[in-house]
Structure 1
Amino acid sequence: MAHCPECDATFQAPEDVAFVDMESETKIFGASKRFYIVACDHCGAAIGGGVAGAM
């Protein structure tokens, strides 16, 4: 089980975190990438991030 480093909330379900799309589209070699952060749904602290799907 994971915990928020800021408010110590326990993440037990997908609804406990928010995936925030940064709306950044970069077209390099015809590919679009979406950047996102994962935030605690209780306090809003950023706890991770990444890049989603290339098209």
Structure 2
Amino acid sequence: MVHCPECESDLVDESDVEFVEMDAAAGGLFAASKRFYVVACAECGAAVGGGVAGAKA
């Protein structure tokens, strides 16, 4: 079982976390081709993970 490091709530279902897309502005001539995201606890908002998703359309 996974628990939030801040509030100790159980992270069992997809509804227990929020996926927050981060701004991937690269600046310059080219737009960023990836989407960055943070996974946050739905109970307290603490970041519990993150990553990079596929190309941005």
For the aligned pair, the TM-score class normalised by the smaller chain equals: 0.7 to 0.9
Cα deviation, 1:11-49, whole Å, max 9, x if unaligned, reads 1110000000003144xx887100000000000000111
Instruction: Supply the RMSD in Å over aligned alpha carbons.
Output: 1.9
**Aligned residues of 2:35 and 2:53 also touching (Cα < 8 A):** yes
Q: Determine the C-alpha separation between the residues in 2 that align with 1:40 and 1:13.
A: 11
Q: Determine the C-alpha separation between the residues in 2 that align with 1:22 and 1:45.
A: 15
Which residue number in structure 1 is paired with residue 12 of structure 2? 12
Unpaired stretches in structure 2, ≥5 consecutive residues: none
Normalising by the residue count of structure 1, what TM-score does the alignment of the two structures yield? 0.82
Unpaired stretches in structure 1, ≥5 consecutive residues: none
The amino acid that maps onto 2:3 is: H
User: Where has structure 1 moved over 4 Å in runs of 4 or more?
Assistant: none
Identity %: 60
